[in-house]
Amino acid sequence: MKYFSRSTLAFSLLILFAAPQSNAQEVTISTVHREPFVFMDEDRFSGFSIDLWEYIVADNNWSYAVAPAGDYVELLRSAREGVVDAAVADIAITPEREELMVFSDPIFEGGLQIVVVDKSSWGLLFDALTLEQGVALLVLLLGVFLTLGFMMWLSERHDHRRIRSTVVPGLGDALWWMATLGGFGRALPVTLFGRFILMLWMFVVTVCLALYVSVVMTSLGSSDALRSIGSYHDLSNKKVGVIKNSIADAFMRDQQIEVLTYRTAEDLFFDLEMDFIDAAVHNVPTIRYFKEHEIFTRDIMTAGPVFERDLYGFALPQSTLYVEQINKSLAKLRADGTYDALYRKWFGFSN
């Protein structure tokens, strides 16, 4: 029995020390979709801030779990109230936030810029109407053209010199006659009803052209007004969009400029491209990322210089014990070139 007890004890100690020991400390972060800093695809996370955080985790032999935030407000609240160990995204360091949270050393230098749709003179010919409006106008014109063409054939089919009496060839003759406004003015309809149809078609075409020219001229006026934007001071009488509770939102409200708020950059830029707003104010790195990766579907240009420059960092609760380790890792990543490599990877140019 004594021999058995010692053997059992020795075997137990052998198992204990032979078993792999995990000293990795798990930290929990919150994040939110903020291209190109954070991309969220179901349970997969990537982006500049995420990559940087993963290097920090590896450098400190930590593991980490992600608790996605519903929006930017919830992201900040999770760090402020200590629900998570850190908030990771593009969080600007401001004096107001520093009173409520602890920030790491800066991970990015940003700023705000105004973007508008570039409405060149040629572009206005195509952008004056939306795709839906253009399709609707074409369908309407085609319907009127075919209807009046058929009526013209019924009226003029007895004049075999100009319009054949059989349906398909005769309809083709009538449509060509209408399209050329009576054979370029050389041959007018014989019947009174045929002449009325031709005049009606000319009236319809004239009205449509007049409406289109009116829309283009209105767009030209709007384009001139947008070209006059040189700074945020010129946005007072414009429809301006920003991300809700962002630095842009706070800044524009401080300037007493009314804004429309959006949850994501995608929603913001979609409304800009659809001309629902005149201008968008957003952070410079995201604007550059969208332009670099050709995500915009229309020509978008910046208006005026970068303003309200700021620094981004990881946000942590005031009770945090991790900020010194994070800062040491950030310094190491800058020194060994890892930071610059990540910067080029996500922004397409050097820091």
For residue 329, pLDDT beyond 90: yes
pLDDT value at position 168?
83
Rounded to 5°, the CA angle 131-136-141 comes to 130
- Mean pLDDT across 219-227: 52
Could you give the residue ranges of the DSSP H alpha helices within the chain? Answer: 2-18, 48-59, 72-80, 95-98, 121-127, 131-156, 167-179, 181-184, 192-227, 247-254, 265-273, 284-292, 323-335, 338-347
Whether residue 261 sits in one domain with residue 212: no
Q: By the 8 A CB rule, do 52 and 14 touch?
A: no
User: For the chain, what percent of residues have pLDDT higher than 90?
Assistant: 37
What torsion do the CA atoms of 297, 303, 306, 312 make, to the nearest 10 degrees? -30
- Mean pLDDT across 104-111: 92
Whether residue 188 sits in one domain with residue 130: yes
Q: Does a structural domain hold residue 70?
A: yes
Q: Does a structural domain hold residue 222?
A: no
For residue 17, pLDDT beyond 50: no
pLDDT value at position 300?
85
User: What are the residues facing 39 on neighbouring strands?
Assistant: 46
pLDDT value at position 310?
87
Place of tokens 């491209």: 273
pLDDT value at position 182?
66
Q: Which amino acid is at 227?
A: R
pLDDT value at position 264?
86
Rounded to 5°, the CA angle 116-118-124 comes to 125
For residue 212, pLDDT beyond 80: no
Average pLDDT, the chain: 81
- Quote the CA–CA distance of 287 and 306 in Å, as a whole number: 11
- Quote the CA–CA distance of 109 and 343 in Å, as a whole number: 11
Q: Does a structural domain hold residue 221?
A: no
- Quote the CA–CA distance of 313 and 93 in Å, as a whole number: 6
Whether residue 96 sits in one domain with residue 80: yes
Q: Does a structural domain hold residue 266?
A: yes
Q: Does a structural domain hold residue 1?
A: no
- Quote the CA–CA distance of 168 and 171 in Å, as a whole number: 5
- Quote the CA–CA distance of 214 and 190 in Å, as a whole number: 35
Whether residue 198 sits in one domain with residue 134: yes
For residue 31, pLDDT beyond 60: yes
Per-residue pLDDT tens digits for 226-282: 556 888 888 888 899 999 888 899 899 999 999 999 988 889 999 998 888 989 999
Whether residue 326 sits in one domain with residue 284: no
CATH code, 331:
3.40.190.10
Q: How much is the pTM?
A: 0.59
Whether residue 244 sits in one domain with residue 199: no
Whether residue 95 sits in one domain with residue 41: yes
Domain end residue (candidates: 167, 182, 216): 216
Whether residue 130 sits in one domain with residue 105: no
Tokens coding 102: 């602890």
What torsion do the CA atoms of 161, 164, 170, 172 make, to the nearest 10 degrees? -50
Domain count, the chain: 3
For residue 213, pLDDT beyond 90: no
pLDDT value at position 61?
94
- With cut-offs at 50, 70 and 90, classify the pLDDT of residue 289: confident
Q: Does a structural domain hold residue 87?
A: yes
Whether residue 286 sits in one domain with residue 265: yes
Domain end residue (candidates: 163, 192, 216): 216
User: For the chain, what percent of residues have pLDDT higher than 70?
Assistant: 80
CATH code, 171:
1.10.287.70
Q: Exposed, middle or buried, 191 (CB in 10 Å: 0-12/13-18/19+)?
A: middle
Q: Does a structural domain hold residue 299?
A: yes
Phi-psi region of 36 (alpha: psi -120 to 50; beta: other; left: phi over 0): alpha
Whether residue 138 sits in one domain with residue 71: no
For residue 128, pLDDT beyond 90: no
Per-residue pLDDT tens digits for 234-247: 888 889 999 988 88
Domain end residue (candidates: 166, 185, 216): 216
pLDDT value at position 330?
96
Sign of the Cα pseudo-torsion (233, 234, 239, 241, in order): negative
Could you tell me the residue range of the domain that residue 232 belongs to? 116-123+227-309
Place of tokens 């939102």: 249
Q: Does a structural domain hold residue 17?
A: no
Per-residue pLDDT tens digits for 138-179: 788 888 888 888 888 888 887 666 678 787 888 888 888 788
**222/259: higher pLDDT:** 259
Whether residue 208 sits in one domain with residue 288: no
Whether residue 82 sits in one domain with residue 165: no
pLDDT value at position 178?
80
Q: Exposed, middle or buried, 177 (CB in 10 Å: 0-12/13-18/19+)?
A: buried
For residue 64, pLDDT beyond 80: yes
Contacts 24+ apart (CB under 8 A), 341-346: 342/48, 342/51, 342/52, 342/55, 343/48, 345/48, 345/51, 346/36, 346/37, 346/47, 346/48, 346/51, 346/289
